[in-house]
Amino acid sequence: MFTITDDKTNKYLADGKDRDYYLWLAKDWTDTSPAPSIREFDGYTLWDDSTTGVGTKGRWGDLLFSQVQTDEVVYVQPRVGWAGISLSALAKKYDKKLTLFMPSSKKVSEHQMVCIERGARPVFRRIAAMPVLNKYAKDYADEVGATFIPFGLDHELVVAAGVKSTLQQWGDRPEPNDLVSVISTGVLSRTLQIAFPNARFHGIAVARNLHKGEVGRAAAVSYHKAFLQNADKADQYGKLIDSAPNYDMKGIEYLLDQKLAAPRSPSTLVWNVAGDIRPQRLTHEDIDSYRDWGEVR
> Domain extents for the chain?
11-52+155-272, 59-154
Other CB atoms within 10 Å distance of the CB of residue 216: 23
The answer to whether 155 and 191 are in contact (CB under 8 A) is no
CA angle 98, 35, 109 (to 5 degrees): 40
The answer to whether 180 and 106 are in contact (CB under 8 A) is no
User: Cα 241 from chain centroid?
Assistant: 18
Query: What is the second-level CATH architecture of the domain 59-154?
Result: 3-Layer(aba) Sandwich (3.40)
Residue 209 DSSP one-character state: -
Q: pLDDT 10s per residue in the chain (297 long)?
A: 899 999 999 999 999 999 999 999 999 999 999 999 999 999 999 999 998 888 999 999 999 999 999 999 999 999 988 899 999 999 999 999 999 999 999 999 999 999 999 999 999 999 998 899 999 999 999 999 999 999 999 999 999 999 999 999 999 999 999 999 999 999 999 999 999 999 999 999 999 999 999 999 999 999 999 998 999 999 999 999 999 999 999 999 999 999 999 999 999 999 999 999 899 999 999 999 999 999 988
Cα-based distances in Å from 226 to 41, 187, 263: 27, 19, 27
Domains 11-52+155-272 and 59-154 share a fold: yes
Q: Which fold has domain 11-52+155-272?
A: Rossmann fold (3.40.50)
Residue 59: phi and psi, rounded to 5, are -65, -50
Q: Would you call 167 helix, strand, or coil by DSSP?
A: helix
The secondary element (H helix, E strand) that includes residue 205 is: strand 200-205
